[in-house]
């Protein structure tokens, strides 16, 4: 498909470009239009076939609803029902402008727009070109941001060209978007009302009209597993450039201290005041204490990082106050909620038998981490006279105890590893005790200001991953692992293979680990630890 660019020369006039865009929209086509927040990908909100083209062009998940753009606040009742007084009050104050209000929808809004929900998101943009196009089209326009799904929102026609060339028939270029981040989204369809997405209209401003407004959990946190998003858009990976971004917590000094200690970053995302101090390629995102300069720059900066080919980026953390909340909401998602230099934390290391977890843990210890060795704890909890040993004797027979009261491991193994049920019984007795002590030790290390590394062959089976900020699986090819355990424990090939097979359960679970650390040629273990920004 050929994509035409219509350049607006005088936004105050009803130009031929506006008419051409409106004609395409009336004909059921998709057109990218400028707004005061970000560029939108518009189609007739009453035309399901046209709306479907938006989803196709963006690659957007079908269950993520669209905002309906109107020409004036008076039109709200044409698409929404049971509109509360607070909605009119909000719109009187903030519309036209960067505010989206979620209301109960009327039947004229098709399920394609609302993604099957009973609500509709309504916004009246203040950009004169957006307004002129909606008026000329004569219908409400459904429009998400005009980026490919998951990527940063476009704040200039060039950004839309990058993402949408060949995918839509036309882009209207109305110059750079003023706000730079998408509208504030507030739902009045819930009680109390909820701020779903912060923008340049702040929570404090909304509270003048909505005193009981709550800020949704998902604004600053990843969606908890199994929870449904109040706003479907919040569950997706979002605003992400190709580069991996890490937010370094703390002030300017803490940031540059961290950058010096950890060479992993190939570019920095900083405030203007930081640029002179950068010894690596840097991209700026506005001024430290002026969040409105940050919203204006953020998405452009994220796109610039990809243009300069950055792979690993360390970013300054913006303030969360006022408009800053909107900046943090976007940057945290762009960074996939990866933070560095925060309070020390717990790292979980697992790995297949023979993969060489100990080697990796020894390197982490040399780099300053405190290792919590669960194999050692497993021996401690069955020390003579321990409650766990007494429980095992009750479960598997008194003869698993040697005359001196110590555990006879061979006898226990013979009893426990005859069936899955008896093996599970053994785990049910020992795992909770091991987990409890491992966490006590890890937390003590963290309290003392150190990063704790829990070295646990059964990290996932025992459920320890839940307590770890990051998990790492150490890997090596099967022949290497078999050769290593044969050499270490003097086993035959068949015995070694049996041991590897016994760990299949954990092996499958541990695929979920955040990182895989390759402990085989060319090794480079320290470099991998650094690239994962573990410490």
Question: Which spans of this chain sit near ligand TXA (rule: CB under 6 A)?
Answer: 35, 37-38, 40, 64-67, 100, 102, 114, 117, 119-121, 123, 143-145, 182-183, 185, 196, 231-234
Q: Which among Mg ion, ligand TXA, none contacts residue 100 (Cβ within 5 to 8 A by kind)?
A: ligand TXA
Nearest residue (CB) to ligand TXA, 60 versus 316: 60
Cβ 68 to ligand TXA, closest distance in Å? 8
Q: Which residue is nearest to Mg ion (CB)?
A: 145
Neighbours of 530 (CB within 10 A): 17
Q: Which residue is nearest to ligand TXA (CB)?
A: 233
Cβ 52 to ligand TXA, closest distance in Å? 15
HEC per residue, 2-33? CCEEEECCCCCCCCHHHHHHHHHHHCCCCEEE
Is position 240 an interface residue for Mg ion (rule: CB under 5 A)?
Answer: no
Interface region with Mg ion, contact rule CB under 5 A, candidates 15-23, 139-147, 193-201, 361-369 = 139-147
Judged by DSSP in three states, 394 sits in helix
Are the C-beta atoms of 327 and 181 separated by less than 8 Å?
yes
Residue 60: HSE in the Cβ half-sphere, 13 Å Cα cutoff: 26
Cβ 153 to Mg ion, closest distance in Å? 5
Cβ 437 to ligand TXA, closest distance in Å? 44
Nearest residue (CB) to ligand TXA, 142 versus 534: 142
Q: Which among ligand TXA, Mg ion, none contacts residue 114 (Cβ within 5 to 8 A by kind)?
A: ligand TXA
Judged by DSSP in three states, 79 sits in helix
β-pair type (370-373, 452-455): parallel
Cβ 444 to ligand TXA, closest distance in Å? 42
Nearest residue (CB) to ligand TXA, 294 versus 352: 294
Instruction: Output the six-digit token pair for 505.
Output: 């359960």
Judged by DSSP in three states, 196 sits in strand
Residue 322: is the preceding peptide bond cis (ω within 30°)? no
Cβ 49 to Mg ion, closest distance in Å? 22
Nearest residue (CB) to Mg ion, 60 versus 441: 60
Is position 145 an interface residue for Mg ion (rule: CB under 5 A)?
Answer: yes
Nearest residue (CB) to ligand TXA, 26 versus 235: 235
Interface region with Mg ion, contact rule CB under 5 A, candidates 144-152, 293-301, 360-368, 448-456 = 144-152
Nearest residue (CB) to Mg ion, 265 versus 334: 334
Nearest residue (CB) to ligand TXA, 262 versus 295: 295
Phi-psi region of 449 (alpha: psi -120 to 50; beta: other; left: phi over 0): left
Nearest residue (CB) to ligand TXA, 66 versus 482: 66
Cβ 179 to ligand TXA, closest distance in Å? 8
Cβ 246 to ligand TXA, closest distance in Å? 24
Nearest residue (CB) to Mg ion, 143 versus 350: 143
Contacts of residues 21-28 at CB distance under 8 Å and 24 or more positions apart, as own/partner, are 21/133, 21/136, 21/137, 21/170, 21/172, 22/133, 22/136, 22/137, 22/138, 24/169, 24/170, 25/50, 25/133, 25/137, 25/139, 25/141, 26/137, 26/138, 26/139, 28/53
Cβ 229 to ligand TXA, closest distance in Å? 8
Question: Number of residues in contact with Mg ion, rule: CB under 5 A?
Answer: 1
Q: Where are the alpha helices (DSSP H) in 62-119?
A: 76-79, 85-94, 111-114
Q: Which among ligand TXA, Mg ion, none contacts residue 232 (Cβ within 5 to 8 A by kind)?
A: ligand TXA
Side by side, the strands of the sheet bearing 312-316 are: 282-284, 267-270, 312-316, 244-248, 339-340
Are the C-beta atoms of 441 and 369 separated by less than 8 Å?
no
Are the C-beta atoms of 73 and 157 separated by less than 8 Å?
no
Nearest residue (CB) to ligand TXA, 182 versus 317: 182
Q: Which among ligand TXA, Mg ion, none contacts residue 183 (Cβ within 5 to 8 A by kind)?
A: ligand TXA
**Secondary structure letter of residue 145 according to DSSP:** B
Cβ 78 to ligand TXA, closest distance in Å? 16
Phi, psi at 247, each rounded to 5°: -95, 125
Q: Which residues contact 335 (CB under 8 A, 6 or more apart)?
A: 245, 246, 247, 315
- Residues interacting with Mg ion, by CB under 5 A? 145
């Amino acid at each position: 498909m050929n994509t035409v660019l219509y350049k607006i020369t005088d936004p105050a006039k009803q130009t031929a470009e506006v008419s051409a865009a409106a004609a395409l929209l009336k004909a059921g086509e998709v057109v990218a239009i400028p707004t005061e927040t970000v560029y939108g990908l518009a189609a007739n909100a009453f035309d399901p076939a046209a709306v479907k083209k938006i989803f196709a062009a963006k690659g957007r998940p079908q269950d993520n609803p669209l905002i309906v753009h109107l020409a004036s606040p008076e039109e709200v009742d044409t698409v929404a029902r049971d509109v509360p007084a607070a909605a009119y009050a909000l719109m009187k104050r903030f519309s036209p402008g960067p505010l989206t209000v979620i209301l109960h929808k009327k039947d004229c809004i098709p399920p394609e727009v609302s993604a099957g929900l009973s609500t509709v998101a309504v916004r009246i943009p203040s950009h004169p070109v957006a307004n002129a196009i909606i008026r000329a089209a004569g219908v409400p326009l459904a429009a998400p941001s005009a980026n490919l799904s998951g990527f940063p929102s476009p704040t200039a026609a060039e950004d839309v060209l990058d993402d949408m060339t060949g995918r839509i028939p036309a882009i209207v270029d109305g110059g750079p978007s003023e706000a730079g981040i998408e509208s504030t989204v507030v739902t009045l369809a819930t009680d109390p009302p909820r701020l779903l997405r912060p923008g340049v209209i702040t929570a404090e401003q909304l509270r003048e009209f909505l005193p009981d407004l709550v800020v949704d959990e998902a604004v600053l946190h990843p969606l908890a597993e199994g929870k449904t998003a109040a706003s479907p858009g919040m569950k997706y990976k979002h605003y992400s450039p190709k580069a991996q971004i890490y937010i370094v917590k703390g002030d300017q000094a803490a940031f540059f201290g961290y950058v010096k200690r950890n060479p992993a970053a190939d570019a920095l995302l900083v405030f203007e005041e930081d640029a002179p101090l950068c010894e690596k390629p840097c991209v700026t995102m506005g001024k430290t204490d002026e969040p409105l300069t940050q919203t204006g720059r953020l998405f452009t900066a994220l796109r610039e990082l990809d243009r300069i080919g950055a792979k690993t980026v360390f970013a300054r953390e913006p303030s969360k106050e006022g408009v800053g909340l909107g900046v943090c909401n976007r940057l945290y998602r762009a960074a996939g909620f990866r933070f560095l230099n925060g309070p020390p934390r717990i790292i979980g290391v697992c790995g297949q038998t023979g993969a060489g977890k100990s080697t990796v843990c020894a390197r982490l210890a040399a780099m300053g981490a405190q290792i919590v060795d669960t194999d050692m704890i497993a021996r401690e909890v069955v020390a003579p006279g321990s409650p766990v040993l007494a429980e095992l004797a009750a479960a598997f027979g008194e003869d698993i105890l040697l005359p001196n009261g110590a555990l006879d491991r061979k006898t226990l193994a013979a009893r426990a590893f005859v069936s899955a049920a008896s093996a599970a019984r053994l785990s049910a007795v020992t795992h909770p005790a091991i987990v409890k002590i491992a966490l006590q030790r890890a937390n003590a290390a963290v309290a003392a200001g150190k990063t704790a590394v829990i070295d646990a062959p059964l990290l996932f089976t025992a459920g320890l991953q839940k307590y770890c900020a990051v998990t790492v699986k150490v890997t090596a090819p099967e022949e290497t692992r078999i050769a290593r355990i044969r050499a270490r424990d003097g086993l035959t090939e068949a015995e070694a293979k049996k041991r590897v097979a016994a760990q299949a359960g954990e092996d499958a679970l541990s695929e979920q680990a955040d990182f895989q650390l390759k402990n085989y040629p060319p090794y480079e273990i320290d470099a991998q630890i650094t690239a994962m920004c573990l410490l």
